[in-house]
Structure 1
Amino acid sequence: MPVPLKRDQRLAREVIARWLADRFPGEGTPTVGPISIPAGTGFSGETLLCDAEWNHHGARRILPLAIRVAPTGHQLLPEYDWDAHTRLQMLLAGTDVPVAKTHGAEPSGELLGAPFIVMERIPGRVPPDLPSYHRTGWLAELQPAARAHVWNGGLELMARVHRLDPGALGLAFLDNPRHGPVGIGRQLGECAAHLGFYGAQDSSVVARALHWLRSHRPAEPESPRLLWGDARIGNIIYTGQAPVALLDWEMATLGAPESDLAWYLYTDRYLSEGRELPRLPGLPDRQETVSRYESLLGRPMRQLPYYEVFAAFRFCLITSRVTRLLAGTGILRTNGCAPYERSVALLDRTLEEVCSSGLTRQRR
């Protein structure tokens, strides 16, 4: 679900045109076309899509743009280091992880009311969240073998992220020790510190999951890796069935790759089982996915069930926040509880499955 577009289009287009003229001073002032927003996905920040056209000395050039604006009113996360994640995206452009080329960033909020980053708009399509890609859309229309290609292609790009050397890239700026040690300790501590922000502080299921997660927290890997954070096929642009770019780095941090893999698995589970939909035939199941990812990274996944409970816990918090934001926009016209209630139920089920299986026994 995208952030609703409530900007004055004329003023926004004028601001973008002036910014581009300053960025490309030798080409004059471009004409910026109508602004739209992505359909079917994206509530973590405002994204403006438009074309900029130059006619300079008889030469016509069109630049498709995606402009990501730092969240203000629709702030999904309690702590948002916009500068850090803008810096990360620029650094990733020099790696084999495909991301949108950055044309520049505006650190002040004077022009659009918040900092923003201007990127190339990559042609392609993204599996939608609403309605779920398990229900309808281009992924549902593919043959089973093609769906498997889409799923596995996302895994292959995620493995590129996890193979990067954070030290060589200078990614220490992503580590904020305020909420705990690097990795799952920090991620869990940050979630626990902001239950009120998410609006999930009164849930007994959330409280029970948090207690279990604290009691069973695994040891961190010796060398934390870069984590995408919001790792899912709904944050990947595809051309045909081939993944061509990873999106949305606002939740990026450092830690164990198991955290990203668990999120990849769990978000898909929520969009199928969590919404009482059959999973699309052809998409590799959990066992196939884990085996493939172990092959891609060249090592076994450690304590993955723990990270799946954490994914369910964190997803529940985010769903609670999204539900309240949507209710505030008028998009949700019910009592605003259904998505959150579904995520609570699936968190409860996930925790029960892991506890009853005995797969995670390590205690601190």
Structure 2
Amino acid sequence: MPVPLQRDPDLTRAVLTHWFGTRSAEIGAVELGPVTVPKEAGFSGEILLFDAEWTEAGTRRRRALAARVAPTRHRVFPEDFWDDQVRLLRLLGDTGLPVPRVLWDEPSAAYLGAPFLVMERVDGQVPADLPSYHRQGWLTRLPPADRAAVWNAGVDVLAAVHRLDPKETGAGFLDRPEFGPTGSAQLLGHFTHHLDFYGVADDNTAAAAALDWLRAHVPDDEGPVSLLWGDARIGNIVYAGTRPAALLDWEMAALGPAEADLAWYLHMDRHLSEGIGAPRLPGLPGRAETVARWEERVGRTARDLPYHEVFAAYRFCVVTARVARLLDESGILPPGTDFPLHRNATALLAKVLEENAQGASSRGYGPALQRRPTA
């Protein structure tokens, strides 16, 4: 569900035109087309799409651009890591990962009421959350083999993120040592530090039980620290055919065990199928096949994946509490509308926790992996 256009499109176009004028020493006078919002955009960030034309070195250029505006009114996450996001995107642009190229960024709120960056717009298709790509959209129209290619390409590019050395990449600034040692303890401590902001209800027994379980089962020996995408899922990938053309939404980026990303990738797909009562699309690889592929690509065995799957389910449950409140306060949905996002997330969390507490043989993605010695 996209953030609603919070500003007048014509006025926004005029403001952006003026802003580009301040950069006339670089590119000369700029003409902008209409400003629109992509229907696939998420709820936590405002995206503005437009075409731009200018003359550079005597040549007329036309480019499709996207401006991402730092969240202000609709803030899903508690902290302002905007500068970190911009910095990370610029660093990732030098790694060979398919990330949108940042052309300019504006650190002040003087123009659009918040900082923003301007990126090259990447053409392609994004699997939608609403309605779920398991029920409707371009993925449903693909043959099963192509669906598998889409899914596996997502796993491959996720593994490519995890193969990066955070120190060599320059991503060490994402460490949050004030919340604990780098790893699962820090991820959990950082997230739970802001529970009041998310507003999960005190009577949410599934969330309370999951938090108790997570605190009691934090892994000890986790292996190498990885760069985490944070919101790793096929719904944050722009696909050109079946290949990833751009990885989007890095606002949850962190440092920690790569399995946290892998578990999120699995859980978000499970939520959009089993979690909402939709059959999973034929052709999409299951849990065991997905994990095996990821292990092959990163060159090691997955560690403590059940813990990370509970953590993924818990985080999503808590975040959806915040999203539900924002939807209610924004007036996007008519009063009395039953929007079951948080209810479904809570029910799936309870199931994931029960599976792990009882050592179930299946976690919704085929036979569970047997615990193997770590590499």
TM range (shorter): over 0.9
Residue-by-residue CA offset, 1:129-150 (whole Å, 9 max, x unaligned): 0100000000011000000000
Q: In the alignment, which residue of structure 2 is the partner of 1:282?
A: 283
Shift of 1:63: 1.5
Taking structure 1 as reference, are residues 309 and 34 closer, same or farther at Cα in structure 2, changes over 3 Å only?
Answer: same
The 2-side partners of 1:228 and 1:243 are apart by 15
The 1-side partners of 2:228 and 2:26 are apart by 39
Q: In the alignment, which residue of structure 2 is the partner of 1:85?
A: 85
Equivalent pairs, count: 360
The answer as to whether partners of 2:175 and 2:254 remain within 8 angstroms in 1 is yes
Shift of 1:56: 6.9
Shift of 1:190: 2.1
Question: What fraction of aligned residue pairs are identical, expressed as a percent?
Answer: 54
Q: In the alignment, which residue of structure 2 is the partner of 1:216?
A: 217
Q: In the alignment, which residue of structure 2 is the partner of 1:10?
A: 10
The 1-side partners of 2:139 and 2:240 are apart by 12
AA aligned to 1:82 is W
Shift of 1:55: 5.3
Q: In the alignment, which residue of structure 1 is the partner of 2:365?
A: none
The 1-side partners of 2:59 and 2:189 are apart by 55
SS at match of 1:156: helix
The answer as to whether partners of 1:21 and 1:29 remain within 8 angstroms in 2 is yes
Q: TM-score, normalised by structure 1?
A: 0.95
- 1:253 has 2:240 as partner: no
Q: TM-score, normalised by structure 2?
A: 0.92
The answer as to whether partners of 1:50 and 1:66 remain within 8 angstroms in 2 is yes
The 2-side partners of 1:86 and 1:180 are apart by 25
The 1-side partners of 2:96 and 2:220 are apart by 29
Taking structure 1 as reference, are residues 220 and 323 closer, same or farther at Cα in structure 2, changes over 3 Å only?
Answer: farther
Q: In the alignment, which residue of structure 2 is the partner of 1:233?
A: 234
The 2-side partners of 1:262 and 1:97 are apart by 21
Residue-by-residue CA offset, 1:61-113 (whole Å, 9 max, x unaligned): 21111111110010010112110111000000000211011111111111110
Q: In the alignment, which residue of structure 2 is the partner of 1:30?
A: 30
AA aligned to 1:197 is F
Taking structure 1 as reference, are residues 103 and 58 closer, same or farther at Cα in structure 2, changes over 3 Å only?
Answer: closer
**Aligned residue runs from structure 1 range 37-186, under 5 A:** 37-54=37-54, 59-186=59-186
The 2-side partners of 1:198 and 1:69 are apart by 21
The answer as to whether partners of 1:18 and 1:29 remain within 8 angstroms in 2 is no
SS at match of 1:91: helix
Taking structure 1 as reference, are residues 88 and 56 closer, same or farther at Cα in structure 2, changes over 3 Å only?
Answer: closer
Taking structure 1 as reference, are residues 320 and 56 closer, same or farther at Cα in structure 2, changes over 3 Å only?
Answer: same
The answer as to whether partners of 1:183 and 1:254 remain within 8 angstroms in 2 is yes
The 2-side partners of 1:218 and 1:102 are apart by 37
The answer as to whether partners of 1:153 and 1:243 remain within 8 angstroms in 2 is yes
Q: In the alignment, which residue of structure 2 is the partner of 1:343?
A: 345
Shift of 1:237: 0.5
Shift of 1:336: 5.4
Residue-by-residue CA offset, 1:198-220 (whole Å, 9 max, x unaligned): 11141111111000000001025
The answer as to whether partners of 2:151 and 2:284 remain within 8 angstroms in 1 is yes
AA aligned to 2:109 is G
Shift of 1:27: 3.6
Taking structure 1 as reference, are residues 313 and 72 closer, same or farther at Cα in structure 2, changes over 3 Å only?
Answer: same
SS at match of 1:105: strand
Shift of 1:281: 0.2
Q: In the alignment, which residue of structure 1 is the partner of 2:311?
A: 310
Q: In terms of mean alpha carbon deviation, does 340-349 or 54-63 score higher?
A: 54-63
The 2-side partners of 1:217 and 1:184 are apart by 6
The answer as to whether partners of 2:41 and 2:47 remain within 8 angstroms in 1 is no
